[in-house]
Amino acid sequence: MKIDLEDCDDEASVSMTWSVDADGNVSNQKSGFHMSTEGDVTYGERQYKLSPDDIDFNDGSQLGSGAGGIVSRGVLKKTGEVVAVKTIRIDSDEKREQLLSEIKGLVQAEGCANLVQWYAGFASKMSASVHVVLEFMDLGSLADMKARLDGKGVPASKLSCAAQQVMEGINFLHQKRLLHRDVKPANILHNRKGEVKLTDFGLSRSMNNASLTAGTFVGTTTYMSPERCLGEEYGFASDIWSVGMVLYELATGKYPFGDCKSFLALFDHLCEKPEPRLKADQFPPELCDLVAGCLTRDVAKRASSSALLGHDYVSKDVCTREDFAAWLATWA
């Protein structure tokens, strides 16, 4: 089964740096990005090759969908390995730029065990879309895990394994000078091996030495940091706040601002009320301290990814992936 979306709108605009030829090949002159319908991908000096004919789509089951695209199941014919195929519409300049950000993020993620890896991608001849072939995580997202727990939190002894892996992934991105900008349970995947990996780099942004802050209002609002909610410039610390929100939610089984029904209510929680804190009589002090280090409104006092990697909760007596996998098996 081919994964094609509707034919592109003839009125779709193409910027000066983008071109989509009659065969559906997509190029960006500024970055050196090129993706062909035959499965050749070039980004800078890197080249990738995976033909559409290399993938069996007979199953075709949909794994998920969202603003970033549709994700379906496929199988690499040569190896029998299951993969996730993300279909992304590129019928506007904004979506093309988001695709470029995602490809850049995937290239930068190569070699990190806690960031979802990719194989290659190819453009569609029949539609304004491209297909990106990704590592398959068979238990879905941490949002799926939370749903399976049905209101129960992840035991602190097990959560340490997931927290450590999330920190490794975030620190890797930050060391590469990349902001994720959309850290949330739905963008953190896990599998039956106990592996936890960040994904969805479509909103990631490079932070070079000349520009250590960003100013655009993008990402999932409910996990956004106070400085972003205020429309202020933000940096790597904004990802850390989002990580803290995720860990709080997984520990308690509840979103920190559960009564939020409007942006004004969210603003009140983020910018006026005391920051969320885990109850000291219900959670170990190491976990409470880690979450507090993330959910600190004062950016200057908020912990960095490198500092958090050395935190006792994720560096001492951490649950092994084997034990975490065994616990996951009771809920999968």
Residue 105's closest CA among 187, 162, 30? 187
From the list 40, 54, 182, 200, the catalytic residue is 182
Q: Give yes or no for a contact between 275 and 148, defined as CB atoms under 8 angstroms apart.
A: no
Distance CA 122, CA 4 (A): 12
Residues belonging to the chain: 332
- Is 182 catalytic? The answer is yes
Task: Locate 220 and state its tokens.
Answer: 């999932």
Please report how the helices 236-252 and 285-294 are oriented relative to each other, as an axis angle in degrees rounded to 10. Answer: 140
- Within 8 A by CB and 6+ apart from 49, the residues are 39, 40, 41, 120
Task: Locate 311 and state its tokens.
Answer: 């935190």
Residue 168's closest CA among 106, 231, 87, 113? 113
Q: From the CB of residue 203, how many other CB atoms can be counted at a distance below 10 Å? A: 21
Residue 87's closest CA among 26, 131, 39? 131
CA 97 remoteness from chain centre = 17
Strands (E), 45-160: 46-49, 55-56, 62-66, 69-76, 82-89, 118-123, 129-135
Distance CA 249, CA 257 (A): 10
Strands 46-49, 55-56: pairing is: unpaired
Q: Which residues are catalytic?
A: 182
